[in-house]
Amino acid sequence: MANLNDLKMRIASVKSTQKITKAKKMVAAAKLRRAEERATEARPYASRMEAVLGNLANGVTGESAPKLLRGSGDDKVHLLIVATADRGLCGAFNSSIVRLARETIVRLQGEGKTVKIFTVGKKGKDQLGRLYGELIIDSMDFAGIKQIGFNIAKEISDKVLSQFDEGDFDVAHLFYGKFQSVMTQVPTQTQLIPAKAPEGAIAPDLKGAIYAYEPDEESILEALLPRYVGVQVYRALLENVASEQAASMTAMDNATRNAGDMIDNLTLQFNRARQAKITTELVEIIAGAESV
């Protein structure tokens, strides 16, 4: 059994840790509300753009379609854009996104495809770098960035679009954590390039009307598609921020509870050890008195 001083030091250490986890939980809870609002507010715009894209794409086929819509004509080289957080202490948030990316890498390589990785966030780069460091062609983190804005998403999308124009890849996939609730964040994969409206996207209700586009659909898509890629990246980053804060709040709440349980157990051990020491001292005093 540990002596009293050791137990006392361990109790003090766990109490200090508990104060830290409790403070981090409160900080995450404060940040979560605003992050959730931003993610929720971005969804209608992104969904409407998906619907408009789907409507326009239906009228454009073959070689007349922009390259971002029709693709390079091949699917040999795949770019995986893996968006995670810069920090840990948020449960399985980062690792679940990386796990989905790893599964995709294994599947694509099993099909004979070439895989390249673009990491957004330090944790994704650190975890994927252990096994697939040679596949990482670019990376970006959020050091010094206080709030995610569209300019950050545009910087990422511009890099991706530039690489696509140069023929560095054929298909791009985006990985992120979709925020559903405080308890649930879903690792999500979506195809970014060639651009296409997700399955289940709700087309706008034209109420029987037939739209004539001016300029034509091809010209509109040429201007819309780069913006669409940026919007998808922006939505993913906002979903990630909300998911990270929710996962952090949940993880710190669990850590605080576990610290409380540990303090209770250590306190019980301390009390038993102290009682045993007092009993031993009493026995020694009585034995000494009897011997006199």
Per the CB < 8 A criterion, the answer to whether 248 and 123 are in contact is: no
90 among known catalytic residues: yes
The residues, any chain, with a CB within 8 Å of residue 17's CB and separated by 6 or more, are: 255, 259
Closest CA to 191 of 66, 52, 50, 95: 50
**Residue type at 256 in one-letter notation:** T
**Alpha-carbon gap, residue 79 to 116, rounded angstroms:** 5
C-beta of residue 9 within 8 angstroms of C-beta of residue 268: no
Q: Which of 90, 115, 192, 255 is catalytic?
A: 90
User: Which distant-in-sequence residues (6+ apart) come within 8 Å of 196 by Cβ?
Assistant: 53, 54, 57, 69
* Structure-token pair, residue 187: 């690792």
Hey, which residues are catalytic here? 90
